[in-house]
Homo-oligomer: A and B are copies of this chain.
């Protein structure tokens, strides 16, 4: 059959909704892990446009436009198409077919109990008027995960219930098939926490206006650092300041390669005598040094969109084969009729 299925490395499925450019929060929370993991894992990275459409059906242009942008961000940070398979979710028909099969194995009550869905329904203010596709998205996610036979799924802690939902479906499929057709997946929760927004809120998000895009030009970095939340009680340079919850220091911890220098700055800031302006100037230089090479790689790639689309196409074709194989196995295992060609 497929020689790739003999690959013994653990399989990771991950991805992003192409609703806007990726930002530093994505980098800290997932992208840098992907760059590390791709050397030792079989990694599939989905540009999750089908999922993005579940709550953006009225604005498909935004989703479509951002697919290339997200692909550029991936390549700029070092996701290597020779090591990771990057693919476009809506171009994988097997995912829709698996979703359709799995929807019969999950009750509406179970979907409504899913804490992630409940939270997101609240956060988005959908009430009872949620799109049916949005209610069903944990099932679509189970299709994504199982289609690649993933065993590891990098998620935030709040997404762990999604993995449990997937594994319930996996067990149901395996029970009906009478054999371990699909592997259960495990959440891979990153050790480093989430990068806060520049306003100090827990989550960086473009829609909340507290994000720094990976493609941010120097002026945008300067402006973001200028607006960054520090210690509201630190009014004069000579005052002692708080480092905990001070976003500037959180970012220095995340991006400054000189940990000793950051420790020294923290000590001075706590004692008093170090102003926000000086710390922010350092952070601006650090972020600029970090983002400048990304920005350059991205700009160079953006000049050759056809090459980027070719890479997406290659990854998508590979993903099409793999997911079609899984669909065939699941249909067979569940006893769905097949008209041999």
Which residues of A57-79 are within 8 A (CB) of B? Answer: 57-58, 60-61, 63-64, 67
Residues of B within 8 A of A212 (CB): none
Decide: A67 near B136, CB < 8 A? Known: A108-B128, A131-B104.
Answer: no
In the assembled complex, the CB of A88 is this many whole angstroms from the nearest CB of chain B, namely 6
**Cβ–Cβ contact B100 & A128, under 8 A:** no
A181 CA / B339 CA spacing, docked (Å): 31
In the assembled complex, the CB of A95 is this many whole angstroms from the nearest CB of chain B, namely 8
Q: Across the interface, name the chain B residue whose C-beta is closest to A106.
A: B132
A67 CA / B337 CA spacing, docked (Å): 8
Decide: A64 near B99, CB < 8 A? Known: A128-B109, A131-B106, A132-B107.
Answer: no
Decide: A54 near B104, CB < 8 A? Known: A97-B93, A111-B132.
Answer: yes
Residues of B within 8 A of A108 (CB): 128-132, 135
**Among B57, B97, B100, B341, contact of A104 (Cβ-Cβ < 8 Å):** B57
**Would you call A155 an interface residue if the criterion is a C-beta within 8 Å of the partner chain's C-beta atoms?**
no
Q: How many copies, total?
A: 2
In the assembled complex, the CB of A25 is this many whole angstroms from the nearest CB of chain B, namely 24
Q: Across the interface, name the chain B residue whose C-beta is closest to A134.
A: B104
Decide: A49 near B336, CB < 8 A? Known: A57-B105, A107-B128.
Answer: yes
**Among B60, B100, B335, B341, contact of A133 (Cβ-Cβ < 8 Å):** B100
- The A interface is mostly helix, strand or loop, or mixed, namely helix
Decide: A136 near B60, CB < 8 A? Known: A53-B336, A130-B108.
Answer: no
**Would you call A267 an interface residue if the criterion is a C-beta within 8 Å of the partner chain's C-beta atoms?**
no
**Among B104, B140, B339, contact of A88 (Cβ-Cβ < 8 Å):** B339
**Would you call A215 an interface residue if the criterion is a C-beta within 8 Å of the partner chain's C-beta atoms?**
no
In the assembled complex, the CB of A87 is this many whole angstroms from the nearest CB of chain B, namely 9
**Among B53, B100, B128, B337, contact of A140 (Cβ-Cβ < 8 Å):** B100
A101 CA / B338 CA spacing, docked (Å): 24
**Among B105, B132, B339, contact of A309 (Cβ-Cβ < 8 Å):** B339
In the assembled complex, the CB of A102 is this many whole angstroms from the nearest CB of chain B, namely 8
Which residues of A163-208 are within 8 A (CB) of B? Answer: 176
Q: Across the interface, name the chain B residue whose C-beta is closest to A56.
A: B104
What 10 pairs across the A-B complex have the smallest Cβ distances?
A103-B133, A60-B335, A104-B133, A57-B104, A96-B96, A109-B128, A96-B100, A64-B337, A103-B132, A96-B97
Known: A132-B139, A312-B339. 11 other contacts (CB 8 A): A55-B104, A57-B334, A64-B335, A64-B337, A88-B339, A100-B133, A103-B132, A103-B136, A104-B133, A108-B129, A109-B128
Residues of A within 8 A of B (CB): 49-50, 53-55, 57-58, 60-61, 63-64, 67, 88, 90-91, 93-94, 96-97, 99-101, 103-111, 128-136, 139-140, 176, 309, 312-313, 316, 331, 334-339, 341
